[in-house]
Amino acid sequence: RNLTLPLDLIKKMVEWGRNHRDVASILFVEGDNHYVMDRSEEYALFMHKHLLDPDPIEVKGGYQSDNPPVPTQVNMMRVICHPDKMEVVKPQVAECVAGYAAYAQSLPTTIDIMAPGTNKAAGLHVLQKSLGLSMAECCAIGDSENDLEMLQSVRVACAMGNAVKKTKAVSHFVMPKNTDQPAGVVCLIRSLTAALKATKVEVESTAKEKLRVACF
């Protein structure tokens, strides 16, 4: 959360957004606050309306200003466009961020731009440490490119049935889709619960040890 993107990259993406505002919107995430250059753009409010993210604040002056006061402590940027435009937008974003940051497509509409080393695996490592868990006790499930590092860091990796090819390729198992009944996450949790209930572990030790599993 404390890692931030270089100001040069932020300004670079603002200029890219200025020249491509008919195709995509840029969202800036600074802590708990979200910002956009123009709330009237087609995809400016997409994350707020569809994924219940915070209602974004419009940068004062927006694209009308030659030097808009964009946030400077940005943890992540998102480029949002129509899925049909992603094949065109994604290579351009990759070129802009090269040498500055990491990026991954998280939704058919969305590319996440993050500081190097910022990903779900890094977050999972912090959580594991606080819970006293090892990789051998963790299972993860995902569906997008931004899940790759996390899936590659755990003992058991599962992909949703609706996952992208890259995610399925690094997973041990492919679960049902999120539209199936029951959905993939439900199936995984039920399978893990059933396995834990069926497993009896006897530990010859003065201290009692519990068989446990964490799913992310």
pLDDT of residue 120: 92
Between these two residues, 214 and 41, which has the higher pLDDT value? 41
Q: What's the full length of the chain, in residues?
A: 216
- 4 band by pLDDT with thresholds 50, 70 and 90: very high
Q: From CA 92, how far away is CA 19, in angstroms rounded?
A: 12
Cα within 13 Å of Cα(117), Cβ side: 7
Distance between CA 167 and CA 174 in Å, rounded? 10
Residue 206 one-letter amino acid: T
Which amino acid, 167?
A: T
Within 10 angstroms of residue 207's Cβ, the number of other Cβ atoms is 5
The arithmetic mean of pLDDT across residues 121-125, rounded, is: 90
pLDDT of residue 34: 97
Which one is predicted more confidently, 7 or 214? 7
- Report residue 214's pLDDT band, with 50, 70 and 90 as the boundaries: low
More confident residue, 207 or 196: 196
- Within its chain, how far is the Cα of 16 from the centroid? 22
Nearest to 95 by CA among 20, 161, 3, 160: 20
- pLDDT above 80 for 116: yes
Per-residue model confidence (pLDDT) at position 163: 95
What pLDDT was estimated at residue 137?
85
pLDDT tens string 8-32: 999 999 999 999 999 999 999 999 9
- The DSSP-derived string for the chain is ------HHHHHHHHHHHHHTTTTEEEEEEETTEEEES-TTSTTTTHHHHHH-PPPPEEPTTGGGSSS----SS-SEEEEEE-GGGHHHHHHHHHHHHTTT-EEEEEETTEEEEE-TT-SHHHHHHHHHHHHT--GGGEEEEE-SGGGHHHHHHSSEEEE-TT--HHHHHT-SEE---TTSSS-HHHHHHHHHHHHHHH------SSS------EE-
